[in-house]
Amino acid sequence: EVQLVETGGGLIQPGGSLRLSCAASGFTVSSNYMSWVRQAPGKGLEWVSVIYNGGSTYYADSVKGRFTISRDNSKNTLYLQINSLRAEDTAVYFCARAQVVIRGSAFDIWGQGTVVTVSS
């Protein structure tokens, strides 16, 4: 079965760090564009970061310099390292596959999301 499962969310104090994980099954992470998308409580969707199949990484301006996307090919897992957490980073974080060849980089597979709450 093709699926993504996120873990690693939680309650963290401002200024803290967290690493989110996204385990894939049914397809190979390293062969795809993989992204993180977040959704603050009651708000819309915000694209956060992408790692291309070739390894290039890109970030939204709002997280550049604080977030790092990576992957472990041996574990078929995507990661998001989040540093210097701020209250405005509070959100549900989804990982998603951007399917390039057929779907023009639309996100066709999504995880269920993991909740990050930044509060003292």
Partner 1 sequence: DIQMTQSPSTLSASVGDRVTITCRASQNINSWLAWYQQKPGKAPKLLIYKASSLESGVPSRFSGSGSGTEFTLTISSLQPDDFATYYCQQYNSYSWTFGQGTKVEIK
φ/ψ of residue 87, rounded to 5: -55, -35
Considering the complex, what minimum distance in angstroms separates the CB of residue 86 from partner 1?
20
Q: Which is nearer to partner 1, 6 or 89 (CB)?
A: 6
Residues that bind partner 1 (CB under 8 A): 35, 37, 44-47, 50, 58, 60-61, 94, 98-99, 102-108, 110-113
Q: Judge contact between 69 and 49, C-beta under 8 A.
A: yes
Q: Which is nearer to partner 1, 29 or 111 (CB)?
A: 111
Half-sphere exposure of 10 (CA within 13 A, CB side): 11
Q: Which is nearer to partner 1, 7 or 17 (CB)?
A: 7
